[in-house]
Amino acid sequence: MAVVALVTSAGLMFRATTTGLFGDELLFVRAINLGVIEGLCSPGSSHPPLMRLIVGAFTDSASPDWLFRLPSIVLSTLTVVVWSRVLTRLVLDTKTQCLLLATLSLNPVWINLAFQCLPYAAVTFFASVHCLAWFRLVEKQSKARWTIFVLSGAVLPWIHFFGINALLADLFVWAFLWWKQQVPLRRIVTVNAACLLYTSPSPRD
């Protein structure tokens, strides 16, 4: 599985260094210089600000194209690692795990999106971490695992509005667990309130 992650990383880096910024990437880079609020309202780049802040922290107008894409490449490679951890919990056969992981990580659609200077790699990474956190909570509950679950969920709407879909899916899982009496209602309310607190903008915003 490490080999799959390395091949994916190499493929993404190759794409990033041989292809110039194009389409929505150009609008995304332009939005970085507009600031949080104006960037949010910028045509073609109306995404939440977290990924723009990350990319903008170590790039400027003179930076090479690959540097703008580096956060996406790193997060995409880490996503493959997270997928491998999820697959070990879904599929018992090691060969099948490797085949599925290679199919997911080397999929042309994923490769095309994963290296771009856009929020898609980041939202996929944190959604995958959030999914893995669910599995880990089912296996064993601890304060650290609950913290990872809450934070990985709370950060999603700050990266891409699609992240809200993952939080809505959470509610169906919570309802099922409550119905099966696996999780008390008090904990469900507490965890979702924490996600809402971290997701909501501060008064200064």
What is the pLDDT tens value at each position of the chain, 205 positions in all? 566 666 667 767 766 676 788 888 888 888 887 777 777 777 766 678 888 888 988 888 788 888 898 898 889 888 888 988 888 888 888 888 888 888 887 788 888 888 888 899 999 999 999 889 888 887 888 889 888 888 888 898 888 888 888 877 777 776 666 656 655 555 555 555 555 555 544 433 3
End position of a domain, from candidates 85, 118, 151? 118
Q: Are residues 111 and 35 in the same domain?
A: yes
Same domain, residue pair 30 and 131: no
Look at residues 118, 147, 167 and tell me which one is the last residue of a structural domain: 118
Q: For residues 112 and 131, state if they share a domain.
A: no
**Same domain assignment for residues 98 and 161:** no
Q: Are residues 32 and 126 in the same domain?
A: no
Domain count within the chain: 2
Same domain? For 73 and 97 the reply is: yes
Same domain for 92 and 109?
yes
Note down the domain range covering 75. Answer: 1-118
133 and 109 housed in the same domain: no
Q: What is the DSSP string of the chain?
A: -HHHHHHHHHHHHHHHHHS---THHHHHHHHHTT-HHHHHTSTT----SHHHHHHHTS--TTS-HHHHHHHHHHHHHHHHHHHHHHHHHH---HHHHHHHHHHHHT-HHHHHHHTSSSTHHHHHHHHHHHHHHHHHHHH---HHHHHHHHHHHHTHHHH-TTHHHHHHHHHHHHHHHHHTTSS-HHHHHHHHHHHHHHHSPPTT-
